Amino acid sequence: MLQSRLKPVTAFAAKPSPLVAFVTVIVIGVVGFYSLHFPFRSAASLDASRFDHVFLSSSSNATISSYLRALTVHPHLAGTKPASLTARYVLNHFTGLGFRTTTARYRPLLSYPLRSSLSAHFSDGSSLEFRLGEGEGNGEVVAPYHAYSPSGSAWAAAVFVNYGREEDFRLLAAAGVGVAGCVAVARSGGGVGRGAVVEAAERHGAAAVVVFGDGDTWPRGFERGHVMRGGIGDPLSPGWGGVDGGESLGLDDNEVLRRFPKIPSMPLSSEAAERILASLGGAPLPLDWRGTLKSSKVRNVGPGPTILNFTYQGEMKVATIENVFAIIKGREESDRYVLLGNHRDAWTYGAVDPNSGTAALLDIARRYAILLRLGWTPRRTIILCSWDAEEFGMVGSTEWVEQNLVNLRSKAVAYLNVDCAVQGPSFFAGSTPQLDDLLLDIIKKVKDPDSDEGTTIYQNWAAGGGKSNIQRLGRVDSDFAPFVQHAGVPSIDMYYGKDYPVYHTAFDSYNWMTEFGDPFFQRHVAVTGIWGLLALRLADDSIIPFNYVSYADQLQVYNDKLSNLLDKQISLHPLTASIQEFASAAKEANEESEKLRLQENSDHFVNMKIRALNDRLMLAEKGFLDVDGLRGRQWFKHLVFGPPRDQESKLDFFPGIADSMSEMFKMSEKERLAAIQHELWRVARAIQRAASALRGDLA
């Protein structure tokens, strides 16, 4: 049974477990002991490893479970009243722990469904009206829809387009299958997002699109999501925070209109999709598609003879969203910020996405409160961030980053993101490369929740590839994107479990988590431990624990890959030389760090040197930003990590170069080579800027 059928509980009012009460008593006793026997001992003099130990040992599976239960009593779609209540719950939690709290409200353009229908009309004269919804939640769950889809209808033949990639449309065309005027039926996956699927179908003349989840997706589940294109954030305030009373573009503005598809789309359950696809005639299903398709009943791709009657009506409206923050002010460098962020809004109940992460954030706050009572104060300021409207395209975090861009670029040490803390087994993480070594060091201290007693996460990771397991942050699928790709803030993203079958469906409930995702909440405890310890190191180490040698190594890997892909007429010398320069600067920074650690606390002059080095370590990432951004996509400023325009690109790095390589069919050979060479020079200059920032030198 799903949570909506459980005995009701008071929303957003989780009682502390007996274990929490016991820990609280112990903490009060420890605080009293220190107050009586060490009245003059400062927090700075206490061993940092002791605080790490207290942080890890104060974990509580039951407490995290209670947070998640409270957060998922009701669906809480951004811009709705339940979403506002969830914000109040998080705010009250932070306030109750004694933290200074603040909120940031915005008025972005969001999108909601009004009505929709879909029926299939078969060649034998029969028809079937599909039920568009999972039948869960007593009407609380929003109907399946694609946010920012235009309203529209179609009465047209169905045609199967596989993942909706360009290569799929080319294969259909080669088989003589036309898509124009049809309703395209696509399955999610294949490395392309739903927005790109709709855009490609529109380009090939489709009248409408339905997208279903294949693979391990629950048969009756509808995968909600947005189909906005061309960037992230509020489409009415591209590049600036959409504050109430500020500048806002009109819905008829060309820059706004280009963000939305021109043909309607909606999600479909795999159960309904199989019924449609099994009825198609026309060209046979390509063997490559058949090998990865879950259903064995699909034999042909169409078009027809099955006709789909598709109708969707929605509305776009400005709604209020709210980011919530808890602030722990630093004692020595209060103007330097370590940020931990997770989004709070969900398409439905959101037990996995995102509130497994929200529950972890709340537990970090609880544990930090324990440390504060023991006398700890971070060297740098820590900010816990609860974002809103992420599901509509990272709206809440993007608006806040845009509004605070200057301060973030000059004062943010790092951003640590957790979206879905737990989706299933196995730990995954991505980072900007200067944080690789810190990440590996931290996971050596946290027990693996899926292994024998005493085994750390690092031990299993090392057996599976070690540092090579770390992903990079060029995607635009969570709240790290504005920090890395627009503001140039060093970042980490982490989670347990690669995929899960109830993604964006009404089945993403507390019950699913307790039955399948993490029954004993051990994985939640592990993510919370890693997340909190990372922030403690970044906030408390006198010298920020960045290693840019790892960055130089990663850039060299990218250079080697490019040499195998690019035409020999293109010179890689500018890139190779800039990477060598950056590697030299990174080595010098490491050597300086080691010398200053040995001299630490010797005099005020050394402290000033440490501060100057930290500034350079922080600012080096900003060197990879380009003021003009990517060509045609100026919001994306990072020239190393960012999304390529073509989601089927062979490059998941150097997005400007990737764009030039993908657009070769639009220009002559001479123009293509010149465009790629220019983008390569831009990357080389960015790497040189980062090297100069790391050295602190003027050219």
Closest CA to 641 of 432, 401, 469, 429: 432
Q: How many Å apart are CA 283 and CA 305, to the nearest integer?
A: 11
Extract the tokens encoding 666: 């639009």
CA count, 13 A, side-chain hemisphere, 444: 9
CA distance 95 to 241: 26
Pairing mode, strands 152-160 and 307-318:
antiparallel
CA atoms of 559 and 655, how far apart (whole Å): 13
Look up 390 and say whether it is catalytic: yes
Cα-based torsion angle of the residue sequence 476, 477, 481, 482 in order, rounded to the nearest 10 degrees? 90
| Helix pair 548-565, 669-695: axis angle to 10 deg | 170
225-226 and 208-212 strand pairing: unpaired
CA dihedral (90, 92, 93, 94) positive or negative: positive
The Cα 657–Cα 639 span in angstroms is 9
Tell me the two tokens of residue 168: 């799929």
Closest by CA position to 125, among listed 270, 255, 254, 307: 307
Q: Rounded to the nearest 5 degrees, what angle is found at the Cα of 164, between the Cα atoms of 160 and 168?
A: 80
**What phi-psi label fits residue 514: left (phi over 0), alpha (psi between -120 and 50 degrees) or beta?**
alpha
Q: 656 pairs with which residues across the strands? A: none
The 3-state DSSP class for residue 399 equals helix
The structure tokens listed for 49 are 């490893």
Question: What is residue 360's three-state secondary structure?
Answer: helix
Residue 146 near residue 171 (C-beta atoms within 8 A): no
Q: How far apart are CA 564 and CA 468, in angstroms?
A: 20
Backbone phi, then psi, for 301, in 5-degree steps?
-110, -10
| Beta-sheet strand order (sheet of 412-417) | 100-106, 321-328, 380-387, 333-343, 412-417, 491-496, 427-431
Identify the active-site residue in 322, 390, 592, 679: 390
Strand partners, 189: 192
Strand-by-strand arrangement of the 307-318 sheet: 127-129, 109-121, 307-318, 152-160, 183-187, 208-212, 265-268
Cα separation, 440 vs 311, whole angstroms: 50
Gap between the Cα atoms of 550 and 617, Å rounded: 13
Determine the straight-line distance between the first and last CA of the chain, rounded to whole angstroms. 66
Contact 61/525 with Cβ under 8 angstroms?
yes
Task: Sort 213 into a burial class: Cβ within 10 Å, 0-12 / 13-18 / 19+.
Answer: buried
Catalytic center residues: 390
